């Protein structure tokens, strides 16, 4: 879900007729949902490899690697462009083994802090350095990310990294607030005087939803108006988040609802008054871009590429 799917979809759909493209993807883990509705919206039919998933698995990764090699050998691409960690590693290995002329990789974020322990992080960095050395070029989605990759984590020299910000189709967010605000608030039971707050993203440790819930707990005693909070998404941290919500002080002014994934996020956002993000690490946070496109203020942690897309002004509040 999010930026990588949109980026790969748009690159497949909107490249000029000089290019013939093939989009190859993996499958979600059991606690994740797929993002095929995004591809369907733009008329893209991807080739899916069942064995290619986020979590490391020797046998599945080996099978996915062989399938990628077979696909590339048949398609005979001039350029292989990979996205995300697992697909990036397997895809670049397969492309290099076949002598593909140009091999590029986009870092939509990175796993070099706030994901794993010190030892595992060192292994991932070592793998990415070897892959970067054999890549024709590396794409970062923000200037901050470029500096992190080259200067902080030493993945490759700075001259090898090109910054290409993500492109989005934000037309459905522009004006959605006027069109859908009343119907969305009615659908989700938001009364006229309630402040609607949402946090949108995978329910995984790096997104740090517990910071968000702790912040709500600190605000309860100061509430003077009713607030309805929506946690949009799903993932491995759902049970921990539910337990943290149960431990909050009770207040008639605060309601919290876990919605799981919502596909029409433009319509949903139209009913919100505030969008939050409390991640420990981000590449380019899509939820904040979409919120701003709908003229909704945001509160966010100051991490990763946030400063590149949330500008100084009344729409920005950073929290430590």
Q: Are residues 117 and 220 in the same domain?
A: no
Q: Are residues 130 and 238 in the same domain?
A: no
**Residue 116: per-residue pLDDT:** 64
Based on the structure, what is the number of domains in the chain? 2
Q: Are residues 252 and 145 in the same domain?
A: no
Q: Is 284 a domain residue?
A: yes
How much helix, strand and coil, in percent to the nearest 5, is found in the chain? 40, 15, 40
Q: Are residues 64 and 146 in the same domain?
A: yes
Q: Are residues 99 and 215 in the same domain?
A: no
DSSP type of residue 262: -
Could you say which of 102, 128, 163 is where a domain stops?
A: 163
**Residue 313: per-residue pLDDT:** 61
**Residue 230: per-residue pLDDT:** 98
Residue 266 tokens read as 């433009």
Q: Is 117 a domain residue?
A: yes
Per the CB < 8 A criterion, the answer to whether 4 and 109 are in contact is no
Q: Spell out the alpha helix ranges (H) of 148-208.
A: 176-187
State how far the Cα of 290 lies from the Cα of 80, in Å rounded to an integer: 29
Q: By C-alpha distance, which of 169, 204, 166 is closest to 283?
A: 166
State how far the Cα of 303 lies from the Cα of 143, in Å rounded to an integer: 13
Domain that holds residue 28: 3-163
**Residue 310: per-residue pLDDT:** 83
Q: Is 198 a domain residue?
A: yes
Q: Is 79 a domain residue?
A: yes
**Residue 320: per-residue pLDDT:** 42
Residue 274 tokens read as 């505030």
Residue 48 sits in a domain of what CATH number? Answer: 3.40.50.2000
Q: Are residues 27 and 139 in the same domain?
A: yes
Q: Is 168 a domain residue?
A: no
Could you say which of 134, 163, 192 is where a domain stops?
A: 163
Could you say which of 103, 132, 163 is where a domain stops?
A: 163
Give mean pLDDT in consecutive 10-residue pieces for the chain, a chain of 320 residues.
80 90 87 79 92 89 97 97 92 97 89 66 88 95 88 92 88 85 96 95 92 94 95 93 95 95 92 95 84 91 82 53
What are the strands, taking DSSP E only, across the chain?
24-25, 47-48, 79-83, 102-107, 137-140, 161-163, 195-200, 227-232, 254-260, 274-277, 298-301, 316-319
């Amino acid at each position: 879900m999010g930026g990588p799917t949109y980026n790969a979809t748009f690159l497949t759909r909107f490249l000029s007729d000089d290019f013939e493209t093939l989009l190859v993807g993996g499958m979600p883990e059991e606690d994740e949902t797929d993002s095929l509705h995004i591809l369907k919206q733009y008329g893209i039919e991807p080739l899916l490899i069942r064995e290619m998933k986020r979590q490391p698995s020797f046998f599945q990764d080996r099978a996915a690697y062989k399938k990628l090699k077979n696909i590339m050998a048949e398609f005979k691409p001039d350029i292989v462009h990979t996205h995300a960690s697992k697909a990036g590693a397997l895809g670049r290995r397969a492309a290099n083994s076949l002598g593909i002329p140009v091999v590029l990789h986009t870092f939509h974020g990175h796993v070099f802090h706030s994901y794993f322990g010190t030892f595992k992080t060192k292994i991932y960095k070592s793998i990415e350095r070897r892959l970067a050395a054999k890549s024709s070029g590396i794409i970062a989605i923000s200037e901050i990310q470029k500096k992190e990759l080259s200067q902080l984590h030493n993945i490759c020299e700075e001259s090898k990294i090109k910054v290409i910000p993500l492109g989005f189709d934000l037309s459905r967010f522009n004006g959605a607030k006027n069109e859908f605000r009343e119907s969305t608030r009615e659908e989700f039971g938001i009364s006229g005087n309630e402040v609607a707050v949402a946090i949108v993203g995978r329910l995984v440790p790096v997104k740090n939803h517990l910071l968000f819930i702790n912040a709500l707990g600190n605000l309860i005693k100061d509430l003077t108006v009713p607030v309805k909070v929506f946690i949009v998404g799903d993932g491995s941290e759902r049970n921990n988040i539910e337990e943290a919500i149960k431990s909050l002080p009770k207040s008639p002014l605060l309601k919290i609802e876990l919605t799981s994934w919502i596909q029409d996020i433009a319509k949903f956002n139209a009913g919100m008054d505030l969008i939050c993000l409390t991640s420990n690490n981000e590449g380019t946070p899509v939820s904040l871009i979409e919120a701003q496109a709908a003229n909704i203020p945001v509160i966010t942690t100051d991490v990763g590429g946030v400063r590149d897309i949330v500008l100084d002004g009344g729409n920005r509040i950073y929290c430590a």
